[in-house]
């Protein structure tokens, strides 16, 4: 697959430089590292919210830094964890004396590197709370949620934490909001075609002309099974069944729905899928006061999408409705 890059070995650094040049009015590099960004004019006397992960998921993670969202993001190579040094620099870069909540997907490299950075920050006098995103129902059974991957539902977790921090809450409360959002969110995705890693030029996996991969991860990790391409409505049913089976919303419950494209799926398709999903939820008597449609947590140019459902209560709904302004996600007040 053709890709528009200048230097294959510097694709991430060039991307970060271009991103910061485009958003220089609101975002800036974290001092001491080329692999982390933060908000300009950070709200004083607030808990810091740091997110991060590998590149290739744009607009996550840099594009989710902004008012009412994350304060900063640490950036790794394509589909790889950020290094300890940029994470540590980012922790210090978003700390305003009240500690930092760091949120990232449950992947071994991220767990190790963010964990080491948190320990080093604590030695420097910065308390850090860690929240793992574990929304992917396909990656482990429900009784082993601690093993699950973090995928598109991370957007909901970041949003809840950013809104709670903007209220001036303390470290424990901001981390608690993030954990509550994660606990109430489930996601499952499907891929129609792979992405191509810019470093290798090779597809992340192969599929037949009419095959799809159910439950894959956002780095191209294998899903739970392969099957034949189906209609949008049937595909939505296939994804919602395990998601709603775990959340078990009752008639009259409220949920947030996130229809997330993986990179190459058109808005035309995503809106068709969203309409089908809303219809299924309506048939169950479930209200959907919050709906987001777009490509927020991608896998470069992978074709496919995921559905995330968040079971709302009054507090979580208020946090998710709060104003936010980031390059990749915004909510007007």
pLDDT in tens, 86-96: 999 999 999 99
How many whole angstroms separate alpha carbon 26 and alpha carbon 42? 10
C-alpha of 185 from chain center:
12
pLDDT at 2: 85
pLDDT at 71: 98
Q: What is the mean pLDDT of residues 184-199?
A: 94
**What confidence category does residue 69 fall into, taking pLDDT thresholds of 50, 70 and 90?**
very high
Task: Name the one residue in this structure whose structure tokens are 């002309």.
Answer: 209
| Residue 174 buriedness (CB in 10 A; 0-12 / 13-18 / 19+) | buried
3-state class (DSSP) for residue 243: helix
Q: Is 23 a catalytic residue?
A: no
- Asked if the model's pLDDT at residue 9 lies above 90, the reply is no
Task: Name the one residue in this structure whose structure tokens are 């946090």.
Answer: 319
The one catalytic residue in 23, 92, 197, 219 is 219
Closest CA to 263 of 294, 296, 302, 232: 302
- Asked if the model's pLDDT at residue 228 lies above 90, the reply is yes
β-partners of residue 279 are: none
pLDDT digits (tens, 9 = 90+) for 22-40: 999 999 999 999 999 999 9
**What confidence category does residue 221 fall into, taking pLDDT thresholds of 50, 70 and 90?**
confident
The mean pLDDT value of the chain amounts to: 96
pLDDT digits (tens, 9 = 90+) for 134-151: 999 999 999 999 999 999
Q: What is the mean pLDDT of residues 182-192?
A: 98
The one catalytic residue in 23, 57, 92, 197 is 57
């Amino acid at each position: 697959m053709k890709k528009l890059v200048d230097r294959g070995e510097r694709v991430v650094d060039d991307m970060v430089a271009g991103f910061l040049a485009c958003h220089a009015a609101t975002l800036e590099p974290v001092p001491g590292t080329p692999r982390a960004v933060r908000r300009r004019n950070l709200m004083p006397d607030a808990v810091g919210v740091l997110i991060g992960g590998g590149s290739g998921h744009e607009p996550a993670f840099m594009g989710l830094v902004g008012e009412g969202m994350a304060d900063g993001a640490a950036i790794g190579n394509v589909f790889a964890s950020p290094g300890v040094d940029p994470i540590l620099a980012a922790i210090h870069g978003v700390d305003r004396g009240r500690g930092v909540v760091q949120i990232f997907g449950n992947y071994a490299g991220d767990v190790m590197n963010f964990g080491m950075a948190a320990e080093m920050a604590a030695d420097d006098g910065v308390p850090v709370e860690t929240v793992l995103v574990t929304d992917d129902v396909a990656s482990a059974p429900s009784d082993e949620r601690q093993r699950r991957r973090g995928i598109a539902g991370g957007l909901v977790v970041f949003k809840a934490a950013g809104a709670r921090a903007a209220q001036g809450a303390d470290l424990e409360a901001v981390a608690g909001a993030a954990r509550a959002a994660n606990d109430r969110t489930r996601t499952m995705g499907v891929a129609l075609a792979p992405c191509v890693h810019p470093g290798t030029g090779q597809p992340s996996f192969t599929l037949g002309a009419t095959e799809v991969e159910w439950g894959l991860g956002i780095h191209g990790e294998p899903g739970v099974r392969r099957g034949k391409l189906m209609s949008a409505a049937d595909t939505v049913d296939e994804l919602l069944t395990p998601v709603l089976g775990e959340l078990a919303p009752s008639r009259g419950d409220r949920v947030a729905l996130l229809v997330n494209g993986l990179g190459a799926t058109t808005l035309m398709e995503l809106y068709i899928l969203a309409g089908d999903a809303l219809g299924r939820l309506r048939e169950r008597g479930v209200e959907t006061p919050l709906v987001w449609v777009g490509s927020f947590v991608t896998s470069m140019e992978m074709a496919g999408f995921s559905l995330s459902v968040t079971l709302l209560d009054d507090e979580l709904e208020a946090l998710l409705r709060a104003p936010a302004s980031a390059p990749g996600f915004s909510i007007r007040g």
